[in-house]
């Protein structure tokens, strides 16, 4: 049975969705049942599901896996970029939690995998509050299932390009207090926002809702250092042009401009993901192809 073929009668209103029971192949090629929200198109690759597969997840389909293999063939460093980006997220959340931040808004959170924001934050502070936001119904559904029974973590469906719909969503306002510092995370999502959508304006609107002492956490695909690396990266970027979510490569200066002057970038500044407060056993590793990252504090 192929991906997307109905495998059982549909069931209505499971977890608030009109759902259809479909089959999908897991990483080992065996068949497993999975709930897919009605209306999700599994015939085209989805950035959230592709990233899930890159990180070893199972909530993806043949089209996502095939796309990732083509991207990795074009740009063999892609897997390392994904892993170092995810590791940065965990270190940044730990750093923020150790700095006293207890509220997190993770926009573009993706499909749950190991080292989720609420797990890291609540290990440091069990009362830490985490709101996840993603545009992908599968990511939202899987997050909702994972968060069941956790009173301090929730998820909503939302789009970074409409920040007010996120900031004023009833669930967000119920969980987070914007009169207190909040860490807003936009990790591995801004490179899907084209210049025509005014990413700097989007970030400014988010920042305007945050009080002094709040933080932005960002990661973004940046240009590779070598000419050969940039050629490989460009081949992968062109593959994404054929998907609903083309990728924009931006350099450190452009990322700094997106963060804006209302925020002060904390040391070590805009750096490669592997170079942001690396774990002691990784501090002496050679430079790696990676995303650009930064953590910035609201002035």
pLDDT at 135 over 90: yes
pLDDT at 289 over 80: no
CA dist 138 and 51 (Å) reads: 13
Contact 288, 80 (CB under 8 A): yes
pLDDT band at 35 (very low <50, low <70, confident <90, very high): low
What domains can you pick out in the chain, each with its CATH number?
A: 78-298 (3.40.50.150)
Residue 145, both tokens: 């299932």
Name the CA dihedral angle for 274, 116, 76, 34, rounded to a multiple of 10 degrees. Answer: 180
The pLDDT value given to residue 36: 75
pLDDT tens-place string over residues 80-128? 999 999 999 999 999 999 999 999 999 999 999 888 999 999 999 999 9
CA dist 54 and 146 (Å) reads: 20
pLDDT at 281 over 80: no
Contact 48, 206 (CB under 8 A): no
pLDDT tens-place string over residues 220-253? 999 998 999 999 999 999 999 999 999 999 999 9
Question: Among residues of the chain, what percentage have pLDDT more than 70?
Answer: 86
pLDDT band at 286 (very low <50, low <70, confident <90, very high): low
CA dist 131 and 168 (Å) reads: 13
pTM, rounded to two decimals:
0.86
pLDDT at 11 over 90: no
CA dist 92 and 98 (Å) reads: 10
Mean confidence (pLDDT) of the chain: 88
pLDDT band at 41 (very low <50, low <70, confident <90, very high): confident
């Amino acid at each position: 049975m192929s991906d997307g073929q109905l495998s059982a009668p549909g069931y209505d209103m499971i977890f608030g969705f009109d759902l259809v029971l479909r089959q999908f192949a897991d990483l080992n090629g065996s068949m497993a049942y999975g709930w897919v929200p009605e209306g999700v198109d599994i015939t085209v690759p989805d950035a959230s599901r592709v990233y899930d597969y890159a990180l070893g997840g199972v909530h993806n389909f043949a089209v996502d896996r095939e796309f990732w293999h083509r991207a990795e063939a074009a740009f063999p460093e892609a897997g390392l970029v994904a892993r170092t980006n995810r590791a940065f997220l965990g270190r940044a959340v730990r750093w923020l939690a150790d700095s006293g931040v207890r509220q997190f808004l993770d926009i573009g959170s993706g499909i749950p995998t190991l080292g989720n924001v609420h797990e890291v934050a609540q290990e440091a502070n069990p009362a830490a509050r985490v709101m996840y936001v993603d545009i992908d119904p599968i990511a939202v559904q899987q997050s909702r299932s994972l968060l069941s029974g956790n009173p301090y973590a929730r998820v909503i469906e939302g789009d970074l390009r409409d920040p007010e719909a996120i900031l004023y969503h009833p669930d967000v306002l119920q969980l987070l207090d914007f009169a207190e510092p909040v860490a807003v995370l936009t990790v591995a999502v801004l490179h899907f926002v084209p210049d025509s959508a005014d990413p700097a304006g989007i970030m400014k609107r988010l920042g305007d809702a945050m009080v002094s002492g709040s933080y932005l956490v960002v990661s973004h695909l940046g240009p590779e250092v070598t000419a050969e690396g940039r050629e490989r990266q460009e081949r992968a970027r062109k593959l994404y042009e054929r998907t609903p979510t083309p990728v924009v490569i931006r350099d450190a200066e452009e990322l700094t401009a997106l963060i804006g002057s209302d925020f002060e970038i904390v040391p070590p500044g805009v750096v490669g993901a592997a170079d942001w407060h690396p774990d002691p056993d990784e501090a002496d590793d050679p430079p790696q192809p990676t995303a650009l990252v930064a953590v910035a504090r609201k002035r």
